[in-house]
Amino acid sequence: MRRVRALNNYILTRRNGRGFTQKELAFLLGCVHRTKVSRYELGIRLPTLKTVIGLEIVLLTPLAKLFAGTYAAVREEIRPRAQQLSRELDAKPRTKAIQRKIDSLSEIIHPLKAKKAA
């Protein structure tokens, strides 16, 4: 089965789905010009945290879905560090605090297992 690569962001898709123009979305986000929205859609510019929250509110789409490609890339960058930290903690005596950390890291390393268990 071929894996489909996610776009870095789905702002344009969601904006069109909601029927907003770039100018209207820019207005709702408090931007003066629509060019900011265009740059976000094209991936030329990364929005601020405040703008990302605004996009999530206006486009009714969670961050993880709105920025699916970027979200997946960051997750993959974190995974090897989580594995390394888990191995380091695994070598220490098991306390409740250590076990809690290992459990949290396991959810990062194996996200599908964590979702099935929930």
Structural domain boundaries in the chain:
11-66, 71-117
Cβ(9)–Cβ(42) below 8 Å: no
Cβ(64)–Cβ(71) below 8 Å: yes
Kindly report, residue by residue over 33-59, the tens digit of the pLDDT. Answer: 999 999 999 999 999 999 999 999 999
Q: What's the angle, vertex CA 20, arms to CA 14 and CA 24, rounded to 5?
A: 125
Radius of gyration of the chain (CA): 19
Q: Which residues of the chain, if any, have pLDDT below 50?
A: none
Check residue 26 and give its pLDDT.
98
pTM score over 0.75: yes
- Please state which architecture CATH assigns to domain 11-66: Orthogonal Bundle (1.10)
Check residue 112 and give its pLDDT.
76
